[in-house]
Structure 1
């Protein structure tokens, strides 16, 4: 799922292309992608785009008269840009869900997954837009005290706390791994167990990690992002999706915990005093044979 740095990349590149342009048409090729509309699609025609905003993991196209197009990419949704816009108004294959034609080009929402989760809402007014807020703290504007208050509001694992959109804004599976590694804290530590110094360290790691990757993507993807540019699988990540690769800090193999459709990646040595975290899918089978430490696993 695209997270804060990816959404910011889309936001900036979209603003460069469509702010100041006029909406010519909104076309929906999938009946389920348009989840709600307070304003009919045709009522956007002729209105000028006045800004591109980010609302958590959602992209918001703001037009005149306080009308908003709210796009949630979910896991596999991606945006494509064509300029000049092609003449065809039919879907270019089953993966194209919607097409927004502007005076400067065509923006398409595509989703390659068979499970269509991406969504669009057509919203009227700031009050209507606020209904799509999940309530997560905007980390770029947060203080250590605000971060600590949100983090300690409920006692649960750090991995879950960081990825809950009602707690923090814009963090998902990939960047939570990178943040926790940067802070050198285990993903299964509970929020209530952290000392004040650890909370401050986690806040600093969170902000620095998001800034680093946001700036890096802006620098390395100068044009409109291709599908491969928006991904949770980056070879220069420290731990996320790096299972078995050496830790960039200590050289120990990166570990993972697999659950449902996700996995958590971490360094046992740097983040958990060398202790392995039980992988649910394997520890259930291996029971007493499951190694408890990195040394046991490596035969040390």
Structure 2
């Protein structure tokens, strides 16, 4: 699933390429992804792109008084075609395409078996419920220990699930929650309520370090390689059976309560310090 570092890198690339250009047409949009039926994506044809921004895991196109908003779901993404010609060998299938006044084509693609991409046309990003409900963003310089403390509090909820709860903390998904907890040396099944002040500080630092470093690492990587770069950068997520890069123990796949995580049993035992 695309998470905020990849969406941020994509937003910056598209902002540089699209800002100042007009959308000539919006075609081939699968009606199943449209969440504002009274304002279909085709209605933005002729609009000028003032900028492209990220909101959590959402991508928003500022069209001067209205916004086109994308959610990628688990396997959605975009394909940037400067020459306007689709690539028939690209993975997945297109569920919509925007053509710009310079001939460039932006395809919205789904690469999974389940169609989870979604698109809205709204007056403001907060008109999308998922954006309106977003919690503080750890990529933002304003994200402070108090923001994490407010999310954690004394809740009897496992910290991996809490890190992925978008209304508490924006932009973190399954992969980066594994990476954060490995950096923080914490088990994903520990409840927020039992964390000590020192553990909360450690979790805060791991959260901002992992997320902000990921953004820096993804910048400049072409859109069609961002997902691969994310996978390659993981220390434990998706690394079951491999050696932990910190201690050398074997990374394990841990299933609990209908959820799963990859972790190092040495670095992330409930007594790790």
Q: TM-score, normalised by structure 2?
A: 0.89
Cα distance in 2, alignment partners of residues 194 and 109 from structure 1: 42
User: Is the 8 Å Cα contact of residues 257 and 264 (structure 1) preserved in structure 2?
Assistant: yes
How do residues 1-300 of structure 1 correspond to structure 2 at under 5 angstroms? 1-37=1-37, 39-64=39-64, 66-86=65-85, 95-104=93-102, 105-125=104-124, 128-129=127-128, 132-139=131-138, 140=140, 141-152=142-153, 154-219=155-220, 221=221, 224-226=222-224, 228-231=225-228, 234-258=231-255, 263-272=260-269
Deviations 1:57-80 (Å, cap 9, x if unpaired)? 11001112x211110011111100
Q: Provide the secondary structure at the position in 2 that maps to 1:257.
A: strand
RMSD: 2.4
User: Is the 8 Å Cα contact of residues 39 and 124 (structure 1) preserved in structure 2?
Assistant: no
Q: Which runs of 5+ in 1 are unaligned?
A: 276-300
Residue 182 of structure 1: how far off its partner (Å)? 0.6
Aligned residue pairs, count: 266
User: Is the 8 Å Cα contact of residues 68 and 129 (structure 1) preserved in structure 2?
Assistant: no
Go from structure 1 to structure 2 and tell me whether the alpha carbon gap of 1:42 and 1:178 turns closer, same or farther (over 3 Å shift): closer
Go from structure 1 to structure 2 and tell me whether the alpha carbon gap of 1:265 and 1:131 turns closer, same or farther (over 3 Å shift): closer
Residue 38 of structure 1: how far off its partner (Å)? 5.2
Cα distance in 1, alignment partners of residues 170 and 92 from structure 2: 31
Go from structure 1 to structure 2 and tell me whether the alpha carbon gap of 1:82 and 1:262 turns closer, same or farther (over 3 Å shift): farther
Cα distance in 2, alignment partners of residues 235 and 93 from structure 1: 19
Q: TM-score, normalised by structure 1?
A: 0.81
Cα distance in 1, alignment partners of residues 166 and 235 from structure 2: 23
Comparing 262-271 and 66-75, the one that deviates more? 262-271
Q: Provide the secondary structure at the position in 1 that maps to 2:8.
A: helix
Cα distance in 2, alignment partners of residues 85 and 123 from structure 1: 26
User: Is the 8 Å Cα contact of residues 100 and 108 (structure 1) preserved in structure 2?
Assistant: yes
User: Is the 8 Å Cα contact of residues 71 and 120 (structure 1) preserved in structure 2?
Assistant: yes
Q: Which runs of 5+ in 2 are unaligned?
A: none
Larger Rg: 1
Residue 232 of structure 1: how far off its partner (Å)? 8.5
Go from structure 1 to structure 2 and tell me whether the alpha carbon gap of 1:260 and 1:144 turns closer, same or farther (over 3 Å shift): closer
